[in-house]
Structure 1
């Protein structure tokens, strides 16, 4: 298996030559990422968070998921910065953020982000987040409700709902939930033996274009590759999912029946897993009764698969939240 992904150029198949994708030609990635954004490293209890900031307006926090980094926002971040003060962060232990604590609960990651935003002078803010970042965002609504003005969650169900739905069908598609949660150091060692094989399987398996990595900007893909080859990042992935199978469930169980009456948007991949077994909006209403949203005709990585469509939905949501 060591030679399967030896050459990224070969795997990409010539990014600039691929077929046209919704929202723009596949592989047409023009210009550097996050041009005119500033970079910060912000210490918080138990971690140092890598952040990029840009734009002017109401503060907006963008959070990524697994197995990605803040680089997934390379198109939407600058676009949203035309009307907002955008803060794009790596979760603790992910990307260029570091961690000196073993606590990778969503409670800890939510506290990180609230501390980051306060450090930057933002006592309250909007949040748009994908995957693990979206779970962090939901935890922020529970633990720091005064800090979150509105929330947009991309392609997730509530964590308790995922565990309740696990069957053979879901387990084969969300296998990483079970694998990464195994006791250390087994999953870390297996991943680090073939980090790019594991990464590409995750990016292709949950995306809307199986067998192609052309969706991802070359610089973004390089960031994901660098992260996957960093043992400390792999350890963070595993600690994150171990927490989701343990302490996060305890926190969520303690908060059952707690709802937050704030503007909330949910988008999910119509070709993916989130809407296949249940109604995602109904699953979220006990937690976020004002939630609205719809399926986007793509897979899990909608921000990179359908950037223009997702951007339009987020902008409409943020405009409505500003009037709320």
Structure 2
């Protein structure tokens, strides 16, 4: 069997187990039947409104509210702007909060290309300018953290301070990450091993065309496995939260766009090699990604510190009060 055929077979078998309830299947969860459209969600956040802006050739959806210096919130996979809903009202007391759906996410455009983090950073740089600001505070989680880093690396004049939550930008170290457990295997009760995370989905999302065919209409199975694996406190996501994320990634187009963030990792690594050290002040907030974020910032940043959070990966939802405290202390 050729290497190509073997890899395809391995991916097919792994996903068959995922979607059919095998050893790595997601646990049963409850989903709210309440509406999850942006208009309905924003009504839950008094003082916030929905907006869109066309920048860099894409239309970005964002939710804004509050007064003060601009604070951009950039979410990650497999979520949307809603991942910040617990912290937005408190942050709005001090800042003009702008929670953005990234290119390919939520209600934003889902073009065929432009998912490298340098291009996505240009989206945000132009959005900041479009909103009438010269610079903003920026907080990114997961893929949003990678976009935030690329923004600081390419447009430092647009970033007052940067907070990176649990994920670092891609560099050549990713080429050496093991994605298959060596002494055990995944099961429904697994929680991520911080020293050996085995992020198999990094590889699966590299496959073009297949994931959206396998997961269209049932992407929530992969989502729930991820939430179970990366979250210490499963109660941090309500049935409504889970329904929001399930519905946001239900279509083949949404799955394709989300996977495209991963398919550009090789380009992101090449871009990272061209960046000078970033001098923008940076705070890392990290749960299981602490070692990754700390090592990355020690290597590539000149003014950074990292705080270990007693949470899983989804920091703003698992520990919203502590998140707000760390953000306001750092950004003030």
Q: Distance in 2 between matches of 1:224 and 1:53?
A: 20
SS in 2 for 1:146: helix
Residue 136 (1) aligns with residue 152 (2): no
Deviations 1:59-98 (A, max 9, x none): 1000101100000010111111100011110011111111
Q: What value does the CA root-mean-square deviation take over the aligned residues?
A: 2.5
Residue equivalent to 1:204: 228
Instruction: Write out the 4+ residue segments of structure 1 that deviate beyond 6 Å after TM superposition.
Output: 1-4
Whole-Å separation in 2 of the counterparts to 1:13 and 1:239: 27
> How far apart in 2 are the matches of 1:253 and 1:142?
11
- Secondary structure at the aligned position of 1:114 is classed as helix
CA distance in 2, matches of 1:162, 1:175: 16
**Counterpart for residue 122 of structure 2:** 111
Tell me if 1:180 matches 2:200. no
**Cα distance, 1:157–1:164 mapped onto 2, change above 3 Å:** farther
State the 1:308 CA deviation: 0.9
Q: Which residue of 2 aligns with 1:267?
A: 285
For residue 222 of structure 2, give the secondary structure of its aligned residue in structure 1. Answer: helix
Whether the 8 Å contact between 1:199 and 1:228 is mirrored in structure 2 is: no
With over 3 angstroms needed to count, the CA separation of the structure-2 counterparts of 1:279 and 1:221, relative to structure 1, is closer
User: Which runs of 5 or more structure 2 residues have no equivalent in the other structure?
Assistant: 1-17, 33-41, 182-194
Give TM-score, length-normalised by structure 1: 0.82
Match of 1:237 among 258, 264, 280: 258
Is the CA contact 1:181–1:241 (under 8 Å) kept in the aligned structure 2?
Answer: yes
Task: Classify 1:13/1:96 alpha carbon distance in 2 versus 1 (closer, same or farther; 3 Å).
Answer: closer
Q: Please tell me whether the aligned partners of residues 158 and 284 of structure 1 are also in contact (alpha carbons under 8 angstroms).
A: no
- Identify unmatched segments of 5+ residues in structure 1: 15-30, 320-324
Residue 113 of structure 1: SS of its match in structure 2?
Answer: helix
Provide the aligned length of Structure 1 versus Structure 2.
Answer: 288
Mapped contact 1:47–1:101 kept (Cα < 8 A): no
Give the 5 Å matches for 1:1-324. Answer: 11-12=29-30, 33-160=44-171, 162-167=173-178, 168-169=180-181, 173-182=198-207, 184-192=208-216, 194-209=218-233, 212=234, 214-244=235-265, 246-255=266-275, 258-269=276-287, 272=288, 274-275=289-290, 278=291, 280-319=293-332
Q: Find the aligned partners of 1:291 and 1:100 in 2 and give their Cα distance.
A: 34
TM-score by length of 2: 0.80
Cα deviation code 1:159-188 (max 9, x no counterpart): 116505402458863111111012x21122
Q: How many angstroms does 1:227 deviate by?
A: 1.3
